[in-house]
Amino acid sequence: MRVVFVLGEANLSGGVRIVAEHGRLLHERGHTVTVVCYAPRATPISRRLLARLRGRPMKVRTGKSHLDNVPFEVRRIPQGQRLTREMLPDSDLLVATWWETAEWIANMPPEKGVKVNFLQHYEAHPWLPADRVDAVWRMPMHKIVVSNWLADIARDKFGDSNVRLVPNGIDTDRFAFVDRAPSGERVVGGMFAGMDKKSFKRFWLACETVETVRRRGRACTFAGFGARRPYPDEQLPEGARFEFAPPQTRIAQIYASCDCWLFTSDKEGYGLPLLEAMACGTPVVATPAGAAPELLASGGGKLVNSDDPEVLADAVEEILNLDVDAWRAMSRAARAEAERHAWSVISDRMEEALLAVLQESGKAVADGI
C-alpha cells in the first residue's frame, strides 16, 4: 500500500507519536509511507523569558517532534503555506489525523488516495468551531477510531456505524514492567494539565482527590510531570514532586515510581497515560473517559463513575491499602492488559483496517501487498 498521513504540526504530542509509530511499522511491513505536515515551531527564548517574568510560564515548543529520524518520508510544509495537491504524492490511502486535516484533504482528487479519517479525539472544545468539527464527522470518509467512546459518538451522534476500531499501541520495551512491591512512601501520580476547572483534563480533580486522601489520615506523596511548569497561583498538593518536560527516557521511570496513577478526564479520545502507566505495572484509578472502560475491565485498576473527590479517594485508598500480594496481582494485570496493546498487535489491526478500506472502496493496491 501507499499510505499518506496528513498531520497538522509535527511536535512531541501523543497524537503525533501514535501516527509516527503506525508509519514506522507499516514501513517495516513493506508499505510506502509518507507523512505530510507543517514544520515544527520552536518557542523563541524572548517569549519564554517574558512569560516567566510575568509569572505565567508557557508550554514550550522545542522544535523537536516524534517524526525526527523516522525511516519513512516526511514532507514538511513551511508555516503559513496552504496544503495543495502538488504537495501530496499519489497514494492508495490519504489519511487525515485531526479535524482540520480532514478539511484539507476533502477535495483532493482521487489519485491522491481513498480518504480516511483517523479519529483520535472528538474535538468538541469551547475554543474550536463546533460546526466545522461536527461537519468533519459527517464527511463521507472512512473512519478509524481509537476507542469505543469515539465509535459510540460516530454511531449515536452522526449515524455512522461503519467505523473500524484500532486502539492505541504501546512500546512495552520502552515502558518496561517493573515487578515490584508497593513503595513504603505510597506515591500517587498524575499528568499535570493546569488547574483550569473548564479543562476536560480536570487535573484539579486529581489534586483534590489526593488532598482528600491526606485529610483522612492516609500519608501519600503526589508525583507527576507536564509540558509546562505550574503558574505561581496553581498550588500542587504539599510536597508534590513535579518534573517539567522530562526526557522521553525518564517518563517511564516516573510511572514506575508510583503506586497508583490518577486519570480524571471527563472527555478523552483515548488517554495514552493510562496505557503507559499500566505498561509500567502501575494500577490506575480512572474516570470513564476515552479508553478507560476497556483498559480497566481486566483488573489493572479501578474505574470510578464519579467526579466526586471523596469517591475517587475511596478507590485510591483501596489500592494503597492492598497487601503486597494483592497489589502485585493488580500491577501484573495492568501490565498484561498493556501487552495486549503492544505495537506488534496494534499494527496488525491498523494494516487490516486500511486493507479493508481499500477492499470496500473497490481499489487495487498499487504495491500488490
Q: Is 34 a residue whose pLDDT tops 90?
A: yes
* Residue 49: predicted pLDDT: 62
Task: Output the nine-digit C-alpha cell for 322.
Answer: 492492598
pLDDT tens profile 246-257 = 988 899 999 999
Measure the CA–CA gap between 191 and 242, rounded to whole angstroms: 10
Domain residue extents for the chain = 2-169+342-361, 187-339
* Residue 368: predicted pLDDT: 46
**DSSP code string of 196-225:** -TT-TT-HHHHHHHHHHHHHTT---EEEEE
Other C-beta atoms closer than 10 Å to the C-beta of 7 total 26
- Per-residue pLDDT band for 140 (boundaries 50, 70, 90) equals very high
**Paired strand residues for 117:** 96, 143
CATH topology of domain 2-169+342-361: Rossmann fold (3.40.50)
Superfamily covering domain 187-339: Glycogen Phosphorylase B; (3.40.50.2000)
Measure the CA–CA gap between 294 and 313, rounded to whole angstroms: 22
- The residue-averaged pLDDT of 268-277 equals 95
Task: Output the nine-digit C-alpha cell for 351.
Answer: 494494516
- 8 Å CB contact between 269 and 200: no
Q: In what order do the strands lie in the sheet with 260-263?
A: 241-244, 221-226, 187-191, 260-263, 284-286, 301-303
Q: State which H helix or E strand residue 5 sits in.
A: strand 2-9
Two domains, one topology: 2-169+342-361 and 187-339: yes
Q: Is 364 a residue whose pLDDT tops 80?
A: no
pLDDT tens profile 280-302 = 999 999 999 999 999 999 999 99
Q: Is 60 a residue whose pLDDT tops 60?
A: no
Q: What are phi and psi of 224, to 5 degrees?
A: 180, -175
